[in-house]
Structure 1
Amino acid sequence: MYEMKPEYFTGIDFIDEEHTKLFAIANECYDLLTNQFIEDMYDYILKVINELKDYTKYHFNHEEEYMKSIGYKKFLSHKVEHNDFIEKINSIDYEHIDNNQKDALLKLLDFLTAWLVNHILKQDTVIGK
């Protein structure tokens, strides 16, 4: 369901590969949401959230180092967006997830979809230019 479309590519290979991985993590959320065979998804949801936390930390650091290396002028505002993402993921209410698993997955997917698409299209593609 979630994929790297041509308009999401920055022209910077490692960034595009890492974005592809972020879309794959979003797909894991979608797969959980549509899986009819897992009654209690709590542990699976936590696994995806932890993977998202770890991978975004890796990706953001990698991307930020690259921006610094090329003297990217919008580095600070870009870093603020990364920090906002991390803050949002770190503020996830685990009790809500336990009590409302499908709703929690829907909210996570809405957030990921909006953030990934908007951030990549409006911020990251500019880095490659």
Structure 2
Amino acid sequence: MLKWESAYELGVTVIDEQHRRLFEIANRAYELLRNQLRVDKYDDIVAIVEELKEYTKYHFATEEGYMRETGYGRFLSHKTEHDDFISWIDGVDLDSADDRQEEFLMRTLDFIVDWISNHILNTDKKIVSRVSQ
């Protein structure tokens, strides 16, 4: 489970709200994984991955707009991280999720949680530290 903590806050309201939404999506995936009463989770897995895909693109566009507005000097390297994540999620093979749903969900969730957490703490934090200097 991905727990929101103050360490994730950038102090940019719109971006912080969007990060919280990404946490909510990841936590829905976690709850689905824990739900032992559901045998066939495929439709839910697809819905969560598709929502994450669309919301992430929306969020990255917002974040990239903020970086442009503030003249953030490391925009291109930051955008490359975003592009890499989009490539990864666009390449997720949802057909493979049907056969091994629990394994697929756990593997996907582990990657997403690690990526979101590390990206916010190690990359996004640099946006506000550079802007506030």
Taking structure 2 as the reference length, the TM-score comes to 0.94
3-state SS, counterpart of residue 11 of structure 1: coil
Letter in 1 for 2:90: N
Taking structure 1 as the reference length, the TM-score comes to 0.97
**1:47 maps to what in 2?**
47
Do 1:64 and 1:79's aligned partners in 2 also have CA atoms closer than 8 Å?
A: yes
1:9 aligns with 2:9: yes
What's the Cα RMSD here? 0.8
Do 1:3 and 1:24's aligned partners in 2 also have CA atoms closer than 8 Å?
A: no
3-state SS, counterpart of residue 120 of structure 2: helix
Count of aligned pairs: 129
**1:111 maps to what in 2?**
111
Q: What is the CA deviation profile of residues 60-102 of structure 1, one whole-angstrom value per residue up to 9, with x for unaligned ones?
A: 0000001000000010000000011111111111221011100
Structure 2: any 5+ residue segments left out of the alignment?
A: none
Q: Which moved more, 1:78-87 or 1:90-99?
A: 90-99
**2:21 maps to what in 1?**
21
Percent identity over the alignment is 47
4+ residue runs over 4 A deviation: none
Mapped partners of 1:100, 1:41: distance in 2: 10
Structure 1: any 5+ residue segments left out of the alignment?
A: none
**2:92 maps to what in 1?**
92
Comparing both chains, which one has the higher relative contact order based on Cα–Cα distances under 8 Å and sequence gaps of 6 or more?
1
Do 1:2 and 1:23's aligned partners in 2 also have CA atoms closer than 8 Å?
A: yes
3-state SS, counterpart of residue 128 of structure 1: helix
Give the alignment of 1:64-103 within 5 angstroms.
64-103=64-103
Mapped partners of 2:98, 2:91: distance in 1: 15
Letter in 2 for 1:15: I
Do 1:22 and 1:52's aligned partners in 2 also have CA atoms closer than 8 Å?
A: yes
Tell me how far 1:127 sits from its aligned partner. Answer: 1.1
Mapped partners of 1:42, 1:16: distance in 2: 30
Letter in 2 for 1:4: W
